[in-house]
């Protein structure tokens, strides 16, 4: 029975890929019909998983008090968007997802597309959501000098070195006048070199980690007008890529 179910959703998934590819070859005037057909194919695939899928386990999820200003979600996206997740040893595509930065949980829907639940973090290897790739870092298994916490990290670059961003939200309270609660975003940057993670707070701290190529990197930064302060994520990716080029 299990093999039959696996075969069913595999066939459905392949039909989605083929349909999606063929959609790209047709005219814009057919986009509405194409999208509808594609959505139906996704629904068929998702429904074929049914309750047999190991994806459908985890605690029930509830939205936050609407009186809290802002929201708890990545990029402030509080509506489900399609993503993919490597969960419990299997890759699932076309999954409706939310990423809760407050609880550091991936949220999805049951096969009925109504009931919300959060995936078990320890079973999530990685996931792709809103054009970002997140990896699950277990800090018990790494050489960690950066005071990192276990959880999901936005992987911006992965070569010989690695650039990670930890995005999280907490709830703050404004006490002047009427007390109001709001979600507040915190962003922390990390760089992995030689299997060790370092916390990065400035261009100087990054160059200090990469001091074996300090002169070349400073020349590269000046020549390419890289500004860490204005765009730390882009700066770290470019510097990491060039450092890997220098040390290959």
| pLDDT for residue 2 | 37
Max Cα–Cα distance, the chain, nearest Å? 63
| pLDDT for residue 115 | 86
* Spatial distance between the Cα atoms of 235 and 203, rounded to a whole number of angstroms: 8
Higher-confidence position of 101 and 8: 101
Q: Are 53 and 123 in contact (CB under 8 A)?
A: no
| pLDDT for residue 147 | 79
* Tokens read off for 100: 């809760």
Residue 47 placed within a domain: yes
Q: How would you list the strands of the sheet with 132-137, edge to edge?
A: 116-118, 105-109, 90-100, 81-87, 124-129, 132-137, 151-158, 162-174, 180-193, 196-200, 143-144
Residue 36 placed within a domain: yes
What are the C-alpha distances in Å from 1 to residues 6, 11, 43, 203? 9, 15, 21, 56
pTM over 0.75: yes
* Tokens read off for 147: 């005071």
- Nearest Cα to Cα of residue 94 among 58, 138, 127: 127
* Spatial distance between the Cα atoms of 236 and 154, rounded to a whole number of angstroms: 13
| pLDDT for residue 184 | 97
- The H-or-E segment that residue 103 falls in is none
Q: Which range, of 9-13, 169-173, 199-203, 216-220, averages the lowest pLDDT? A: 9-13
Residue 112 placed within a domain: no
* Spatial distance between the Cα atoms of 99 and 118, rounded to a whole number of angstroms: 9
Average pLDDT value for residue range 189-217: 95
CA 148: distance to chain centroid? 17
Query: Residue 180 in 3-state DSSP?
Result: strand
Average pLDDT of the chain is 83
What tens digit of pLDDT does each residue of 90-118 get? 999 989 999 999 999 999 988 777 789 99
Q: Are 104 and 152 in contact (CB under 8 A)?
A: yes
Residue 22 placed within a domain: yes
* Spatial distance between the Cα atoms of 59 and 133, rounded to a whole number of angstroms: 24
Q: Are 18 and 11 in contact (CB under 8 A)?
A: no
Residue 27 placed within a domain: yes
Number of domains in the chain: 1
Average pLDDT value for residue range 26-36: 56
- Counting every residue, how long is the chain? 248
* Spatial distance between the Cα atoms of 199 and 165, rounded to a whole number of angstroms: 10
Residue 66 placed within a domain: no
Neighbouring CB atoms inside 10 A of 183's CB total: 18
Q: 16: domain range?
A: 2-52
| pLDDT for residue 162 | 97
């Amino acid at each position: 029975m299990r093999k039959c179910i696996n075969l069913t959703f595999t066939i459905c998934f392949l039909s989605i890929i083929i349909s999606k590819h063929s959609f790209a070859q047709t005219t814009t005037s057919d986009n509405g019909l194409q999208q509808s057909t594609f959505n139906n194919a996704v629904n068929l695939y998702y429904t074929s998983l049914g309750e047999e899928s190991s994806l459908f386990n985890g605690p029930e999820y509830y939205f936050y008090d609407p009186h809290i200003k802002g929201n708890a979600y990545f990029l402030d996206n509080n509506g489900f968007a399609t993503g993919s997740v490597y969960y419990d040893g299997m890759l699932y595509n076309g999954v409706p997802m939310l990423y809760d930065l407050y609880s550091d949980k991936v949220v999805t829907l049951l096969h009925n597309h109504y009931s919300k639940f959060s995936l078990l973090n320890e079973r999530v290897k990685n996931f792709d959501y809103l054009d970002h790739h997140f990896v699950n870092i277990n800090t018990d298994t790494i050489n960690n000098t950066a005071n990192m916490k276990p959880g999901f990290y936005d992987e911006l670059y992965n070569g010989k070195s690695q650039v990670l961003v930890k995005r999280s939200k907490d709830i703050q309270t404004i006490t002047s006048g009427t007390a109001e609660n709001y979600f507040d975003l915190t962003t922390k940057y990390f760089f992995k070199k030689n299997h060790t993670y370092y916390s990065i707070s400035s261009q100087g701290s990054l160059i200090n980690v990469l001091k074996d190529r300090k002169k070349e990197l400073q020349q590269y930064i000046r020549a390419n007008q890289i500004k860490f302060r204005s765009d730390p994520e882009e700066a770290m990716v470019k510097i990491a890529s060039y450092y890997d080029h220098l040390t290959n």
